[in-house]
Amino acid sequence: MLAKRALITGITGQDGSYLAEHLLSEGYEVWGLVRGQANPRVSRLRRLLGDVRLARGDLLDQGSLISAVERVRPDEVYNLGAISFVPMSWEQAELTAEVTGMGVLRMLEAIRVISGASSTIRFYQASSSEMFGQVRETPQTERTPFHPRSPYGVAKAYGHFLTQNYRESYGMFAVSGILFNHESPRRGAEFVTRKVSLGVARIKLGLAAELRLGNLEARRDWGFAGDYVRAMHLMLSADKPEDYVIGTGRTQSVRELVEAAFGAAGLNWQDYVIADQSLHRPAEVDLLCADPKKARTQLGWEATMPFEELISLMVESDLRLLTDGGDPDQDSSWP
């Protein structure tokens, strides 16, 4: 039997790498869409996953997506590509709308144009708990109304509704996973968990004396990225196309994250952390907490890694990385 073929946008990101690993282990032929003349993150991916094939393309460029779908002829498309760092979405709101929002339209159109109205290509959209924003209820479910608080959240809401609309308009197997924060040693250094794990490692090794952070009171539902990519695959393997909330069902504050991370290295966070008002956001999402019941009952999916274990894993990984002389900004040494 021929192997199933998957096309992943955003393959050079955190989730793209874990998803590629997972799909390869399931026997898929995995293709990644990569942009730019010489994307430096591709070499990292090559070292990690020699078996991934690459197609050039950009979510800003409709023709390139049509060509990629025509060339790869995928059974499944996972749209993970995005401007994903929330603060950047205020600085470059238009770019965020184009990549994170309109990019979804371009990818869906590429599928529709190449495979027609009766497309059998299954489509996964990386929706986000940021769409809940100023939450209307806790925990958040598939039925909780959206109130996004950043240009990123607004762009994701557009992509979410568009995916639903293509399902209803064209009968496409198009689904959204509403994923809550998920982290790993491969997380970008700008996100708070990795900023903290790297900060702790630098302090522990005598490479830094302090760590400046923004809002310590914000609460998030943090899980392990490796678990969350399994959920993406399960959604596209289901009998019916449906959207799912994916999270742990627990919530911690940034303050608790900091306490756990410094504690994992035997340090007291209060000796090193400086709360910096200039790092606060124009509009904050104060509290996120998933109700993943639908995913548990219909997909059999569950988060496996407790918060403290995840944070310890990240701190240990960054201690090893820096001890070995690795440079997290060069993306040179993914575990």
What the block records as the tokens of 3 is 């192997």
Using CB under 6 A, which of 17, 128, 184, 252 touches ligand F7E?
128
Nearer to ligand F7E, 67 or 253 (CB): 253
Q: Beta strand pairing status for 244-246 and 174-179?
A: parallel
Catalytic residue numbers read: 128, 130, 152
142 burial level (CB within 10 Å; 0-12, 13-18, 19+): middle
The partner in contact with residue 281, picked from ligand F7E, ligand NAP, none with C-beta cut-offs of 5 to 8 angstroms by kind, is: ligand F7E
The partner in contact with residue 35, picked from ligand F7E, ligand NAP, none with C-beta cut-offs of 5 to 8 angstroms by kind, is: ligand NAP
**Rounded to the nearest 5°, which phi and psi values hold at 58?**
-145, 140
CB atoms closer than 10 angstroms to residue 239: 6
Using CB under 6 A, which of 9, 96, 140, 144 touches ligand NAP?
9
Which range touches ligand F7E (CB under 6 A), out of 16-24, 209-217, 265-273, 294-302? 209-217
Using CB under 6 A, which of 215, 248, 251, 317 touches ligand F7E?
215
Using CB under 6 A, which of 62, 84, 197, 252 touches ligand NAP?
84
Nearer to ligand NAP, 75 or 331 (CB): 331
The Cα 191–Cα 65 span in angstroms is 28
172 interacts with ligand F7E by CB under 6 A: no
59 interacts with ligand NAP by CB under 6 A: yes
Give the amino acid at 63.
G
The Cα 188–Cα 327 span in angstroms is 12
Which range touches ligand NAP (CB under 6 A), out of 7-15, 108-116, 135-143, 294-302? 7-15
Which range touches ligand F7E (CB under 6 A), out of 110-118, 212-220, 233-241, 317-325? 212-220
135 interacts with ligand F7E by CB under 6 A: no
Q: Which candidate, 7, 8, 82, 12, places its Cα nearest to that of 40?
A: 12
DSSP secondary structure of 210-265: -EEES-SS-EE--EEHHHHHHHHHHHHHSSS---EEES-S--EEHHHHHHHHHHHT
159 interacts with ligand NAP by CB under 6 A: no
Residue whose beta carbon is closest to ligand NAP? 13
Q: Beta strand pairing status for 219-220 and 252-253?
A: antiparallel
What the block records as the tokens of 208 is 């830094």
Task: Please give the residue ranges that form the binding site for ligand F7E (CB under 6 A).
Answer: 84, 86, 128-130, 180-181, 190-192, 195, 213-215, 218, 220, 254, 279, 281, 284-285
